[in-house]
Amino acid sequence: MAITVRGGALEGIDAVPIQVEVDLLRRLPAVCVVGLPASAVKESAERIRSAIQSVGIEFPRARVVINLAPADVKKDGTALDLPMALGILAADGHVPGDAVRGVLAVGELSLGGALRPVRGALSLAALARELGVPLLLPEASAAEAALVSGAEVYGAPTLQAVLDHLRGKARLPPAQPAVPEAIAFDVDLAEVRGQTVARRALEVAAAGGHHLMLVGPPGCGKSMLARRLPTILPPLTFEETLETTRVHCAAGLTSDEPRLIRTRPFRAPHHSVTPAGLVGDRTLRPGEVSLAHHGVLFLDEAAESQRAALELLREPLEEGVVRLVRAAGSIEYPAALSLVLASNPCPCGHRGSRHPCRCGDADVARYQQRISGPILDRIDLYVELHAVSASELLDKAPGESSAAVRARVEGARSRQRARGQTVPNARLVPADLDAMANATVAARDVLYRSVDAHGLSGRAANRLLKVALTIADLAGDERVDTRHIGEAFAFRPAPGLQ
């Protein structure tokens, strides 16, 4: 009689149930795994055989048939080792069938019977909670899985410990949630000297979740500023922590040492990053855009990046999600991020600086046009930086610390939540923007005249109002006024770049 054990596999950031059906047939001994198993799943037969023998049980002398249902979904990874082993042992009478049917089991087995950590412990715990069954998984992943409220989680170090638990000989203790680590940054905004306008733009970007572009000669501090943006963002909420960790688990970035992502992600791929590396590859693993979810995506030397890659940012920047459609299937990943682009003003990088520029006007125009208008239209804040003078660099006192700026940013975010917002200002839909901004008559007049005079698109006009709303939040003002509109407009790109 076939035995069925519940397993799980990752599909994007979510876990899906896998029914592991095991039957022992009176035929020549062999292990046959069906149901679209990937190579890692097919190879598990030898791991399972050795692990079962390590606990003093003889592997069945029969044809072991394992069906992974649903059969039309490809199964990858090693997390199905444990449910397949339990199915074999239950079918051979070494563990009660009712006991294995009543749990969701996941885990990779070593040849000696030890259980190794698995990817996606949070998602698997959420699946077990949804199914209403306990989760059995490796001890190294249990503390992470126990963070899911309402999930019954048990961590086991070995296959023998799992068998003793299911037989009722030695029950495993419920897993305790992982203790969050203290958040510490190795950089601080106080290290940035000068660049007052850029520092202000960074604060506005953090307070409203806005996208930012920094343009300036080499060495003026573009990368330095961008790397300090996460230090002034509000800490991740518990829900954001779980969601961010799930994305990184789906990419396989936490498989060796499962842990929570406690700080805002900062992703800075090389400017040669391919479209697949940016949004996701043919295997449906998330790209850099999704890995920056709830954090910062920094694209240095943006004008040198592949145009095809940059153009793929249009929908994620607008909608906050990435939809991958590949030969392997289709999937959707979250991508609510703050984008920071950095670029030189010209091919040689010295236009507008103290060094002579070797570029002609036509060269500069072609270089600046490498970033398309639709991408620039999605940038809320545009800042031109200049080289810091020696006196600013050596003599000027340090600027405000990240902690001081972050306090103002958190105050602005709290005002947004008090208005009933569930998203920062940058992601407000037009239907809610007018009510939230509550702009004065004078402010609306200035906004309309600015939009008409500079031929801004509807999207650009909305983004201008969103930036003004964030500036008002930082100032503690209830309504958007003319001074907020004026400062927001100062962060628009030059007319030739709009």
Distance CA(164)–CA(171), nearest Å, equals: 7
Residue that wins the pLDDT comparison between 82 and 248: 82
pLDDT bucket at 178, cuts 50 / 70 / 90: confident
pLDDT of residue 212: 96
User: Helix, strand, coil % (nearest 5) of the chain?
Assistant: 40, 15, 40
Establish whether the linkage from the previous residue to 157 is cis, with ω within 30° of 0: no
Residue with the two structure tokens 């996701």: 280
What does the pLDDT look like over 3-50, one tens digit per residue?
999 999 888 888 999 999 999 998 999 999 999 888 888 889 999 999
Distance CA(284)–CA(281), nearest Å, equals: 5
pLDDT bucket at 494, cuts 50 / 70 / 90: low
Q: Tell me if 178 sits within 8 A of 388, measured CB to CB.
A: no
pLDDT of residue 182: 60
How many angstroms separate the Cα of 329 from the Cα of each of 3, 12, 39, 332, 397? 30, 11, 18, 11, 55
pLDDT higher than threshold 80 for residue 218 = yes
pLDDT of residue 96: 93
At 314 the three-state DSSP class reads helix
At 14 the three-state DSSP class reads strand
Distance CA(211)–CA(169), nearest Å, equals: 58
Residue that wins the pLDDT comparison between 260 and 125: 125
CATH number belonging to domain 189-419: 3.40.50.300
pLDDT higher than threshold 80 for residue 371 = yes
pTM, rounded to two decimals: 0.85
* Helix intervals (H) in 292-423: 307-311, 314-319, 361-368, 373-376, 390-394, 402-418
Six token digits for residue 114: 């030890």
- Work out the angle at residue 239's Cα, subtended by the Cα atoms of residues 234 and 240, and round it to the nearest 5 degrees: 45
Mean pLDDT to the nearest integer, 165-190: 86
Pairing of strands 135-138, 104-105: parallel
Share of the chain above pLDDT 70, in %: 95
In sequence order, what are the residues at sequence separation of 6 or more whose Cβ sits closer than 8 angstroms to the Cβ of residue 189?
199, 202, 228, 231, 232, 399, 400, 401, 402, 405
Q: What is the biggest distance separating any 2 CA atoms in the chain, rounded to whole angstroms?
A: 87
Average pLDDT over all residues of the chain:
90
What does the radius of gyration of the chain's CA atoms come to, in whole angstroms? Answer: 27
pLDDT higher than threshold 70 for residue 481 = yes
How many angstroms separate the Cα of 78 from the Cα of each of 60, 114, 116, 302? 22, 13, 9, 39
Distance CA(224)–CA(231), nearest Å, equals: 12
Mean pLDDT to the nearest integer, 398-423: 94
- Domain ranges in the chain? 3-167, 189-419, 428-498
> Which overall architecture, per CATH, does domain 428-498 show?
Orthogonal Bundle (1.10)
pLDDT higher than threshold 60 for residue 255 = no
pLDDT of residue 107: 95
pLDDT bucket at 115, cuts 50 / 70 / 90: very high
Mean pLDDT to the nearest integer, 429-442: 93
What does the pLDDT look like over 225-241, one tens digit per residue?
999 999 999 999 988 98
Q: Tell me if 303 sits within 8 A of 343, measured CB to CB.
A: yes
Mean pLDDT to the nearest integer, 470-484: 96
Burial 230-239 (b: 16+ CB within 10 A, else e): bbbbbebeee
Residue with the two structure tokens 């300036």: 216
At 373 the three-state DSSP class reads helix
What DSSP character marks residue 399? -
Six token digits for residue 405: 């700026």
pLDDT higher than threshold 80 for residue 428 = yes
CATH number belonging to domain 3-167: 3.30.230.10
Six token digits for residue 199: 């520092």
pLDDT of residue 259: 67
How many angstroms separate the Cα of 249 from the Cα of each of 9, 122, 165, 254, 492? 12, 9, 28, 5, 38
Residue that wins the pLDDT comparison between 470 and 218: 470
Instruction: Return the number of other C-beta atoms located less than 10 Å from residue 304's C-beta.
Output: 15
How many angstroms separate the Cα of 475 from the Cα of each of 34, 160, 334, 466, 470? 63, 62, 31, 14, 9
In sequence order, what are the residues at sequence separation of 6 or more whose Cβ sits closer than 8 angstroms to the Cβ of residue 222?
214, 215, 216, 300, 342, 385
Distance CA(476)–CA(348), nearest Å, equals: 43
What does the pLDDT look like over 59-99, one tens digit per residue?
999 999 999 999 888 888 889 999 999 999 999 999 999 99
Q: Which amino acid is at 33?
A: V
Distance CA(185)–CA(65), nearest Å, equals: 52
Q: Which amino acid is at 30?
A: A
Say what the alpha-carbon torsion angle 184, 187, 193, 197 is, to the nearest 10 degrees.
-80
In sequence order, what are the residues at sequence separation of 6 or more whose Cβ sits closer than 8 angstroms to the Cβ of residue 142?
121, 153, 154, 155, 175
Which of the residue ranges 225-229, 252-256, 325-329, 468-472 would you say has the lowest mean pLDDT?
252-256
Mean pLDDT to the nearest integer, 358-384: 90
pLDDT bucket at 254, cuts 50 / 70 / 90: low
Burial 429-438 (b: 16+ CB within 10 A, else e): eeeebeebbe
What does the pLDDT look like over 128-160, one tens digit per residue?
999 999 999 999 999 889 989 899 999 999 999
At 68 the three-state DSSP class reads strand
